Amino acid sequence: MNTSNIEIEVTRDAAQMIDSIRWKAPDGGVDAFQDAKAAFIGLWDGAARESLRIDLWTGKMMVDEMNDFLYQSIMGMAETFVRATRNTALSEEMKTFAREFHRKASAALEAENKES
């Protein structure tokens, strides 16, 4: 049996806002710390049948980046769902939602930028 570790380092500023997120995963080929602006970590507690989440993002994360991050995360979840369940219909619904979310989020940001 082998054990693998993924290390995440979060630095906070004086106001306790997240200043930086760094991660490495040596068994995955990422030996040195890499910078990230955001991270979503989801764990499943089978005994309690509930999801546990850690959502992190730095103050440097721009709204358009968050829009893209969420879009890509939902698309990734749709791919994971279809691999795990083979339910292509629901996976496609998730992808349709993700595309519509991204379209609306991008349009809202564009409208907000025009108002500024």
Judge if 40 and 70 occupy the same domain: no
Cα torsion angle, 33, 53, 40, 27, sign:
positive
Q: What single DSSP character describes residue 13?
A: -
Judge if 53 and 68 occupy the same domain: no
Judge if 9 and 41 occupy the same domain: yes
| pTM of the entire predicted model | 0.89
Judge if 38 and 19 occupy the same domain: yes
What value does the mean pLDDT take over residues 21-40? 97
Q: 3-class DSSP state for residue 96? A: helix
Render pLDDT for 44-100 as a digit per residue (tens, 0 to 9).
999 999 999 999 999 999 999 999 999 999 999 999 999 999 999 999 999 999 999
**What is the span of the domain harbouring residue 67?**
62-116
